[in-house]
């Protein structure tokens, strides 16, 4: 029983990590007022860059770095289109998802003789036990014998909470998402703030994608990300655009994702089809949005391009 | 809302043309960067898509669902809604069509007709929920429809695996009476899988035109899209119109799924991911300026690129995905109104010279 619990907890943490990272990414962008349904594409490009860089250099840490850089580079067109050119942010996000998916598979095929997946990444990140803490029963193996990306995710959540609520930068960022005109009057550059926020979101979502291709998995193919960017978006909404809320929602959705796997392991799928378990995060998000889990309040200025001379 | 109406207004031919040319240019740059020849690749693409009867037939087959998913997105756009759930409604259309095609026993033509309509209705029902949540609770339809896409995917998979088969990956073929294929048409195009779906698609383009510009309901739908507050003030029922618009949009998407299933595939398989046809509809609608005729024309372009793109792999060894890059670039250029900026710059240049 205790073993089962440890198992469940460990898989949950494992599958939550990419979701937490991407959801934190989405948090910055959306809190600044820019809708980011491009998380899926940003994760895809991160997963791709991490896998390919690690294969070429043999160093997964460089893979992580490449994922962040690639995420930022791909968040840029979204920022340019939706902030500078005032494109519809949802349409722009859709285009980024298209672009990331098309370009990564195109490059994989180009690099690996027409194969739709990369070779197996040999030098993936490995679990880093924290001596002492990892021998705590049940939670020890789950929390303190994790991938470095997991520790990174936990640190980023704590840091994001602090940054958004206790630093001038965070307050400005939130102000820009709530009332851009007032923020501008107070001397904050709405445009610059939103650019920075969207780029942070690219870096974090890219990092989340890297977790899929060089930590949990060890290759990149067309279905490496498979909707997890959208689950991360769901977690962000479910967590009411709050770092801790999004964190717990991502953990919960990670649990739902892992349920399908754990279910197979323990034969539960005899009773509940795995597809039904897979549906869970999406169904819950709709219920949350419908108001059954308390009203979700989106940032007030979300989705609205900022016009300097408008009121 | 303002953004939506801005998108609607930018429907001029030149804007679309410039976006397409820029999109193809981005694709060409991607090809050159990877060491392929864009001239060879694009040449092969257009040649392979259009100049043999078989290929022409297959291109038309590719175009048909794109018209329908494009109309679905465009109709929602016209009324101020962004239906990203076309993909899920498409899946539900497929599911309903395969159920009718397998489980009902009806005479030819009637069977196909019932299956097609069932598909459309399934799409409409799947779009009802986001419409309702938007109208009654102000929940943004983009998020609900994304979630419903995934739910539709898993629902379809679980039903295929547990109810329609006993653990298999794909269902039996639908009864011949439900098929949309017509051997005479297919023979005309060298045995291509062209089917009645194209007729349904063109008919629906006309339906959308008639509905939006020739009926009172259509006027209301457009008015709500243009300015919901003024429409409300004028006594229109904004809630009802939002729900209706989503459902009509879902109906088109469901028809696309049904006609693909009944005409092209003939069975439903467990799917590892989305078909992408629903998402392509977004590109089609945007490029087509959200008008029925624009949607048909841009579906033709995207269909040619999609079908020709697969052949490009053989002729020039260029991976098909370059076409997806072109699509993405086109959407981005249309959305950011890059053509508008270029045209404006051009005009100011002309003016400058005249002065």
Q: Which of B147, B272, B338 sits opposite A282 (nearest CB)?
A: B147
Which stretches of chain A drop beneath a pLDDT of 70? Answer: 1-2, 292-296, 309-311
Per-residue pLDDT at B352: 72
- Interface with chain B: mutation pick from A271, A286, A300, highest number of B CBs within 10 Å: A286
Quote the CA–CA distance of B275 and B310 in Å, as a whole number: 15
Per-residue pLDDT at B77: 92
CB-CB under 8 Å, A110 with B279: no
Give the pLDDT mean for B117-134: 97
Residue with tokens 């076309």: B86
Model confidence at B4, in pLDDT bands (50, 70, 90)? Answer: very low
Give the pLDDT mean for B49-68: 93
Q: What is the pTM of this model?
A: 0.90
The alpha carbon dihedral of B196, B199, B205, B206 has a sign of negative
Neighbouring residues of B117: CB distance < 8 A, sequence distance ≥ 6: none
CB-CB under 8 Å, A102 with B328: yes
Give the pLDDT mean for B67-89: 95
Q: Which residues on chain A are in Cβ contact (under 8 Å) with B317? A: 114
Give the pLDDT confidence of B263-314 residue by residue, as tens digits: 999 999 999 889 889 999 999 999 998 999 999 999 999 999 999 998 888 8
CB-CB under 8 Å, B161 with A273: yes
- The verdict on B321 touching A (C-beta cutoff 8 Å) is yes
Range with the lowest mean pLDDT among B53-57, B107-111, B139-143, B173-177? Answer: B139-143
Residues 20-59 of chain B with CB under 8 A from chain A are 30, 34
Q: Which residues on chain A are in Cβ contact (under 8 Å) with B146? A: 37, 230, 233
Give the pLDDT confidence of B312-339 residue by residue, as tens digits: 888 888 999 999 999 999 999 998 888 8
- The verdict on B328 touching A (C-beta cutoff 8 Å) is yes
Per-residue pLDDT at B5: 45
Q: Which residues on chain A are in Cβ contact (under 8 Å) with B157? A: 275
Model confidence at B2, in pLDDT bands (50, 70, 90)? Answer: very low
Q: Which residues on chain B are in Cβ contact (under 8 Å) with A87? A: 3, 332, 335-337
Quote the CA–CA distance of B78 and B245 in Å, as a whole number: 9
Give the pLDDT mean for B62-89: 95
Q: Which residues on chain A are in Cβ contact (under 8 Å) with B309? A: none
Give the pLDDT mean for B142-166: 93
Per-residue pLDDT at A256: 81
Give the pLDDT confidence of A66-98 residue by residue, as tens digits: 999 999 999 999 999 999 999 889 899 999 999
Q: Which of A273, A243, A271, A245 is nearest to A260 (CA)?
A: A273
What's the mean per-residue pLDDT of chain B? 90
Closest approach of chain B CAs to the CA of A87, in angstroms? 4
Closest approach of chain B CAs to the CA of A240, in angstroms? 13
Per-residue pLDDT at A310: 54
CB-CB under 8 Å, A91 with B282: yes
Per-residue pLDDT at A257: 77
Residue B100 has pLDDT above 50, yes or no: yes
Closest approach of chain B CAs to the CA of A213, in angstroms? 18
Give the pLDDT mean for B114-133: 97
Give the pLDDT mean for B166-173: 92
The alpha carbon dihedral of B184, B189, B193, B199 has a sign of negative
Per-residue pLDDT at A311: 45
Q: Which of A105, A234, A298 sits opposite B321 (nearest CB)?
A: A105
Quote the CA–CA distance of B161 and B135 in Å, as a whole number: 35
Residue B8 has pLDDT above 60, yes or no: no
């Amino acid at each position: 029983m205790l073993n089962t619990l440890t198992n469940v907890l460990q898989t949950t943490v494992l599958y939550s990590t990419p979701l937490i990272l991407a959801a934190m990414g989405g948090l910055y962008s959306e809190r600044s007022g820019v809708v980011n349904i491009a998380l899926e594409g940003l994760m895809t490009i991160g997963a791709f860059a991490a896998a390919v860089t690690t294969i070429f250099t043999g160093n997964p840490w460089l893979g992580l770095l490449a994922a962040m850089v690639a995420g930022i580079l791909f968040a840029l067109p979204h920022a340019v289109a939706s902030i500078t050119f005032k494109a519809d942010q949802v349409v722009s996000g859709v285009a980024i998802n298209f672009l990331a998916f098309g370009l990564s598979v195109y490059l994989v095929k180009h690099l690996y003789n027409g194969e739709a997946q990369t070779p197996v990444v040999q030098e993936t990140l490995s679990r880093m036990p924290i001596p002492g803490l990892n021998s705590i029963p049940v939670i020890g193996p789950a929390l303190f014998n994790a991938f470095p990306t997991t520790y990174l995710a936990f640190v980023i959540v704590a840091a994001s909470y602090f940054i958004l609520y206790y630093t001038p930068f965070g307050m400005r960022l939130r102000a820009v998402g709530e009332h851009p005109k007032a923020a501008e009057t107070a001397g904050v550059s709405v445009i610059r703030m939103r650019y920075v926020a969207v780029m942070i979101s690219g870096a974090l979502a890219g990092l989340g994608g890297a977790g899929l291709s060089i930590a949990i998995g060890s290759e990149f193919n067309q279905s490496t990300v498979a909707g997890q960017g959208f689950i991360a978006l769901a977690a962000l909404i479910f967590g009411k655009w709050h770092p801790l809320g999004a964190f717990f929602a991502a953990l919960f959705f990670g649990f739902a994702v892992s349920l399908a796997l754990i279910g197979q392991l323990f034969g539960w799928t005899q009773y509940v089809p795995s597809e039904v378990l897979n549906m869970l995060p999406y169904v819950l998000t709709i219920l949350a949005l419908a108001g059954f889990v308390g009203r979700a309040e989106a940032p007030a200025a979300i989705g609205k391009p900022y016009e300097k001379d408008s009121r | 809302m303002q953004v939506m109406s801005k998108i609607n207004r930018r429907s001029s031919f030149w804007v679309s043309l410039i976006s397409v040319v820029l999109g193809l240019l981005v694709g060409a740059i991607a090809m050159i960067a990877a060491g392929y020849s864009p001239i060879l690749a694009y040449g092969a693409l257009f040649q392979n898509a259009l100049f043999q009867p078989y290929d022409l037939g297959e291109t038309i087959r590719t175009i048909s669902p794109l018209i329908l998913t494009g109309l679905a997105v465009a109709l929602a756009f016209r009324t101020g809604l962004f239906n990203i759930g076309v993909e899920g409604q498409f899946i539900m259309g497929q599911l309903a069509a395969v159920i009718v095609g397998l489980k009902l026993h009806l005479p030819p033509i009637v069977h196909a007709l019932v299956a097609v309509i069932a598909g459309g209705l399934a799409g409409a029902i799947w779009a009802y929920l986001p419409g309702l949540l938007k109208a009654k609770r102000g929940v943004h339809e983009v998020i609900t429809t994304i979630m419903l896409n995934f739910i539709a995917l898993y629902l379809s998979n679980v039903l295929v695996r547990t109810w329609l088969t006993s653990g298999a990956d794909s269902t039996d073929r639908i009864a011949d009476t439900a098929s949309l294929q017509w051997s005479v048409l297919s023979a005309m195009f060298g045995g291509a899988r062209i089917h009645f779906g194209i007729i349904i698609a063109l008919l629906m383009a006309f339906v959308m035109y008639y509905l939006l510009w020739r009926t009172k309901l259509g006027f209301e739908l457009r008015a709500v899209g243009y300015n919901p507050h003024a429409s409300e003030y004028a006594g229109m029922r904004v809630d009802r119109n939002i729900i209706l618009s989503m459902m009509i949009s879902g109906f088109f998407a469901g028809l696309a799924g049904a006609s693909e299933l009944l005409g092209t595939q003939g069975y439903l398989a467990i799917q590892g991911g989305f078909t992408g046809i629903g998402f392509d509809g977004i590109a089609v609608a945007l490029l087509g300026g959200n008008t029925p005729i624009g949607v048909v024309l841009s579906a033709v372009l995207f269909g040619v690129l999609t079908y020709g793109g697969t052949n490009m792999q053989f002729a020039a060894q260029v991976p098909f995905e370059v076409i997806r890059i072109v699509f993405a670039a086109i959407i981005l250029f249309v959305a950011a109104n890059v053509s508008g900026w270029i045209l404006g710059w051009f005009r100011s240049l002309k003016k400058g010279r005249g002065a």
